């Protein structure tokens, strides 16, 4: 059970089956740096998508922006009105 954003157990698994305590889920993961980590670590951790026990691990926070978009139902009428508005036609 998680108590806060920084509390990710080393053996915790996502509902999709991915290890959460892994390099690819860490905010320090950066493919452009030495050993792909922004923090100075003594040795490269590999593989990056598997569970590890790195003491520098900090969960990466990702926001799903798709969920913020409001889906409104559209109809053929709405599309026609929008098209006619482009040319200032009266319905």
Rounded mean pLDDT for each run of 10 residues along the chain, 91 residues in total: 61 87 94 94 92 91 74 69 76 51
Would you state the pLDDT for residue 3?
Answer: 43
**Nearest alpha carbon to residue 15 among 34, 29, 2, 26:** 2
* pLDDT for 59: 92
Q: Which of 33, 22, 34 is nearest to 60 (CA)?
A: 22
pTM of the model: 0.61
pLDDT of residue 38: 96
Are the C-beta atoms of 24 and 57 separated by less than 8 Å? no
Look up residue 13 and give its two tokens.
């698994």
Angstrom CA distances, 60 to 24, 71, 90, stand at: 8, 28, 52
């Amino acid at each position: 059970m998680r108590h806060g954003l920084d509390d990710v157990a080393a053996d915790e698994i996502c509902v999709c089956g991915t290890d959460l305590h892994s390099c690819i889920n860490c905010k320090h993961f950066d493919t452009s740096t030495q050993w792909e980590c922004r923090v100075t670590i003594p040795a490269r951790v590999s593989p990056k998508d598997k569970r590890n026990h790195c003491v520098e691990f900090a969960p990466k926070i990702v926001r799903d922006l798709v969920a913020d978009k409001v889906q409104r139902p559209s109809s053929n009428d709405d599309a026609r009105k929008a098209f006619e508005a482009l040319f200032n036609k009266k319905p």
